[in-house]
Amino acid sequence: MRIIPILIIGLLLFAACGNSHDYSPKPRGYFRIELPKKAYREYVSDHPFTFQYPTYAVIEKDTQTRVAHSLLNMNQLLNMQFKQLNGTLHLSYESITSKKVFDELVEDAHKFAFKNTVKATDIDQGSISIPAHKVYGIYYTIGGNAASSVQFFLTDSVKNYMRGALYFNTEPRLDSIQPVLNFVKKDINVMIATFKWKK
């Protein structure tokens, strides 16, 4: 009779030890994204600028964005669509008609970049200066889970102004979009390096 309780306790201990489960949380997994091969072509249009952009992107006139800025010409909004990567580089062009307009456009670019401070971990500003092409501006790198991770503006400081902002059509999670973000940043760098004003 004494052996039966000992056997039952032994079996329970054996069952508890033999069925060890690891209940620690697993890291979130993401789908592998196939990145396209890098290749570029010239943007040709009646706009007063040219640049190189990736062959896997499509540039379309933006007919839906509503910008709360009285100076902005709605016919000068473009979207560089990275459809395979689920992202869009929004581009807006404006003619500079006075120093007041120029100062307001530069201030607006700064405000738009710093609107991301709620979700951003940091915002770095870098100067853009390509005197050979008369291209100057500021490049904003926005860290963390901000809606837009890259913003910039380009100008000749006299007649022309272009602003760009990159957005992905997904919930902003830096850990999931980082590989695609790094990939698209290289395309934006090529665009800026090859950007030229026509006049």
pLDDT (0 to 100) of residue 17: 61
105 and 71 in contact (C-beta within 8 Å)?
yes
Longest Cα–Cα distance of the chain, Å, equals: 103
Average pLDDT value for residue range 11-20: 62
Tokens found for residue 14: 């054996």
Position 156 in a domain: yes
Position 8 in a domain: no
Position 19 in a domain: no
Position 17 in a domain: no
Position 3 in a domain: no
pLDDT (0 to 100) of residue 178: 85
Position 178 in a domain: yes
Most confident among 23-37, 71-85, 171-185 (mean pLDDT): 171-185
Rounded to whole angstroms, how far apart are CA atoms 167 and 147? Answer: 6
75-122 pLDDT tens trace: 478 999 999 999 999 999 999 999 999 999 999 998 888 876 666 677
* Bridge partners, 93 (sequence order): 162
**Residues whose CB falls within 8 Å of the CB of residue 149, separated by 6 or more in sequence, listed in order:** 141, 142, 143, 166, 172, 174, 177, 181
pLDDT (0 to 100) of residue 58: 96
Which band of pLDDT confidence, cut at 50, 70 and 90, is reported for residue 130? very high
DSSP 3-state of 34: coil
CA 80 to chain centroid, in Å, comes to: 12
Position 27 in a domain: no
Rounded to whole angstroms, how far apart are CA atoms 76 and 63? Answer: 10
Average pLDDT value for residue range 124-145: 93
**Residue 111 domain boundaries:** 40-197
Is the predicted pLDDT of residue 189 greater than 70, yes or no? yes
57 and 187 in contact (C-beta within 8 Å)?
yes
Position 10 in a domain: no
CATH of residue 161's domain is 3.40.1000
Number of domains in the chain: 1
What's the DSSP call for residue 28? P
